[in-house]
């Protein structure tokens, strides 16, 4: 399968996943309360944080390492399973302490029930890594679409309708993970038949990458999730629910594209990392493409935040208008940073990446806390934006050092052309917005939302498609 098809299925995987996720998002927001989403967010954050340690960076090491064998695979699964079992017991025993910290009733029981999910997590990460390593994105598309539809799309809604509140999300997540494990093992079963074997020689060959990968992922996780924990602790689950839903809705479109590209380019960059000329060319074109999509999307969500909420979620969620408008600035910041992060990880510069991630984490904690103390939730959002700006600056200069690309080359004629294109896109969106600004009746709000979305999609299709086609040509020449 050629690179175009690999990228296609990588993006289709995320699109199908996002369509089901977005549909569920709309349904559940009309059934559950912001507080339910806040409590569920805390539980999932705790689980995902512990999952970093249970994985120990081994799945990422399997993707990045040039040559692997059955010993590497079986050892990775066995070690992940053992660590996950220990962490699951740890979470079960100390769930009461977390309930006291967050001061949320029934959190302890929820965490005890959820602790089992860690063990299930450990069984899916390595098979998923194998499929990514082999560019089996078509299989990933099938697995994620089926698992998400059956778990969240059916079970989650049934639980919510029957009054399970935040447990609806937790139970749906458990069912989703179980379906993933069953299907992942189905597609890679021939490669993991030595599940219980642990080869210390195989572990030594991948441990250095795994350790730095874990440290970096912890820093990245804290940077991306610290604000949720701080908001949950200082402002409570209600404010966390509003923030979490606003962030999910804002970043969902770009995450669809970003995750698909990341899944493809991480192993791709790993394979061609010795060819500096080619990798630099691909990286610069990739950044151009991401900016051509993310900046217009950011402008659209910022200008049309009230229409987006009214049309998609209803009047009771209009309090999120200001939050979504501000969070839209994160779209180009995080999408570009994520791609630079993928590049840095793929070529093995993990020490420098780890330092940057921990600086990002510290910035997020400091700025979010200060923002809450002075301006509550709005201040927290501005703190997150400021930390993201500083992180992008650090990631950009780290990329310059690695690729030896100068600022002059970075902001070359291609970026000047991009600015011209973006000017046209933004002007078109702004015209529609201000033309209908004084029309507040429902029909005009829906029309304004629809026309703005149409202009956005058309402009992205015509302008970004050209950049994407050039990127594909460069990849195919490799």
Of residues 219 and 39, more confidence is placed in 39
80 found inside a domain: yes
Of residues 437 and 316, more confidence is placed in 316
Nearest 5°: the CA angle 180, 186, 189 is 120
Kindly tell me if the per-residue pLDDT of 75 is higher than 70.
yes
Determine the average pLDDT of the residues in 225-245: 90
Residues across the chain: 478
For 400, the token pair is 């310059």
Determine the average pLDDT of the residues in 316-338: 89
Going by C-alpha positions, the residue among 82, 171, 67 that lies closest to residue 123 is 82
Q: What integer pLDDT is reported at residue 389 of this predicted model?
A: 94
Concatenated DSSP letters for 79-148? HHHHHHHHHHHHHHHTHHHHHHHHT-TTHHHHHHHHTHHHHHHHHHHHHHHHHHHTT-HHHHHHHHHHHH
139 found inside a domain: yes
176 found inside a domain: yes
Q: CA separation (Å) from 129 to 12, 64, 209, 335, 386?
A: 18, 10, 15, 22, 33
Kindly tell me if the per-residue pLDDT of 425 is higher than 70.
no
For 336, the token pair is 């570009």
Sequence-ordered list of residues with C-beta below 8 angstroms from that of 462, at least 6 positions apart, any chain: none
Tokens 């900046």: give the residue.
Answer: 295
Domain that includes residue 111, residue range: 1-198
Going by C-alpha positions, the residue among 96, 100, 84 that lies closest to residue 47 is 84
Kindly tell me if the per-residue pLDDT of 230 is higher than 90.
yes
Q: What integer pLDDT is reported at residue 408 of this predicted model?
A: 61
Least confident of 165-179, 254-268, 328-342, 375-389: 254-268
Q: What integer pLDDT is reported at residue 467 of this predicted model?
A: 60
How many structural domains compose the chain? 1
Q: What integer pLDDT is reported at residue 365 of this predicted model?
A: 93
Q: What is the pLDDT of residues 93-108, one digit of tens each?
A: 999 998 888 888 888 8
Radius of gyration of the chain (CA): 22
Q: What is the pLDDT of residues 118-140, one digit of tens each?
A: 888 888 888 888 887 777 777 77
Kindly tell me if the per-residue pLDDT of 378 is higher than 60.
yes
Work out the widest C-alpha separation in the chain, in whole angstroms. Answer: 70
Kindly tell me if the per-residue pLDDT of 172 is higher than 60.
yes
Q: CA separation (Å) from 113 to 92, 118, 162, 221, 222?
A: 8, 11, 19, 23, 24
Question: 351: how many CB neighbours lie within 10 A of its CB?
Answer: 10
399 found inside a domain: no
Going by C-alpha positions, the residue among 257, 264, 259, 261 that lies closest to residue 296 is 257
Kindly tell me if the per-residue pLDDT of 49 is higher than 80.
yes
What is the rounded (10 degree) CA torsion for 28, 449, 7, 210? Answer: -50
99 found inside a domain: yes
Q: What is the pLDDT of residues 388-412, one digit of tens each?
A: 999 999 998 888 888 776 656 555 6
Sequence-ordered list of residues with C-beta below 8 angstroms from that of 417, at least 6 positions apart, any chain: none
- State the DSSP code for 272: S
Going by C-alpha positions, the residue among 53, 74, 211 that lies closest to residue 118 is 53
205 found inside a domain: no
C-alpha–C-alpha distance, residues 121 and 461, integer Å:
37
Of residues 337 and 407, more confidence is placed in 337
Q: What integer pLDDT is reported at residue 406 of this predicted model?
A: 61
299 found inside a domain: no
435 found inside a domain: no
């Amino acid at each position: 399968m050629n690179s175009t098809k690999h990228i296609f299925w990588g993006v289709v995987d995320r699109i199908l996943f996002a369509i089901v996720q977005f549909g569920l998002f709309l349904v559940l927001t009309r059934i559950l309360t912001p507080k339910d989403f806040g409590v569920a967010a805390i539980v999932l954050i705790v689980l995902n944080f512990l999952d970093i340690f249970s994985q120990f960076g081994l799945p990422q090491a399997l993707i990045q390492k040039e040559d692997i064998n059955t010993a590497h695979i079986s050892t990775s699964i066995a070690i992940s399973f053992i660590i996950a079992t220990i962490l699951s017991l740890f979470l079960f025993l100390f769930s009461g302490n977390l309930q006291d910290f967050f001061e949320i009733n029934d959190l302890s029981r929820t965490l005890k029930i959820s602790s089992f999910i860690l063990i299930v997590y450990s069984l899916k990460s390595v098979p998923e890594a194998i499929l990514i390593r082999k560019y089996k994105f078509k299989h990933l598309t099938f697995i994620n679409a089926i698992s998400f539809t059956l778990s969240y799309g059916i079970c989650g809604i049934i639980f919510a309708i029957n009054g399970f509140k935040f447990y609806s999300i937790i139970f749906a997540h458990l069912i989703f993970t179980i379906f993933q494990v069953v299907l992942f093992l189905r597609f890679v079963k021939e490669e993991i038949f030595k599940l219980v074997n642990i080869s210390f020689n195989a572990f030594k060959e991948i441990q250095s990458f795994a350790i730095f990968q874990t440290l970096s992922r912890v820093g990245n996780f804290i940077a991306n999730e610290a604000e949720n924990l701080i908001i949950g602790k200082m402002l409570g689950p209600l404010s966390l629910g509003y923030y979490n839903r606003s962030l999910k809705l804002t970043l969902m479109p770009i995450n669809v594209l970003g995750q698909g590209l990341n899944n493809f380019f991480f192993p791709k960059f790993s394979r061609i990392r010795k060819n500096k000329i080619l990798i630099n060319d691909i990286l610069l074109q990739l950044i151009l493409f991401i900016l051509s999509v993310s900046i217009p999307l950011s402008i659209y969500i910022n200008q049309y935040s009230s229409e987006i909420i009214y049309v998609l979620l209803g009047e009771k969620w209009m309090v999120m208008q200001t939050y979504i408008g501000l969070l839209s600035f994160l779209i180009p910041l995080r999408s570009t940073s994520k791609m630079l992060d993928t590049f840095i990880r793929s070529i093995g510069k993990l020490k420098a990446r780890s330092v940057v991630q921990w600086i990002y984490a510290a910035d997020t904690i400091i700025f979010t806390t200060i923002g809450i103390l002075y301006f509550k939730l709005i201040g927290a959002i501005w703190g997150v934006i400021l930390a993201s700006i500083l992180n992008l600056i650090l990631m950009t200069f780290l990329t310059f050092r690695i690729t030896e690309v100068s600022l002059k080359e970075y902001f070359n004629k291609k970026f000047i052309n991009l600015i011209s294109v973006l000017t046209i896109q933004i002007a078109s969106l702004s015209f529609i917005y201000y033309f209908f600004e004084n029309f507040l009746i429902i029909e005009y709000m829906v029309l304004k939302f629809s026309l703005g979305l149409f202009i956005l999609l058309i402009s992205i299709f015509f302008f970004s498609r050209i950049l994407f086609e050039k990127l594909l040509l460069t990849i195919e020449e490799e």
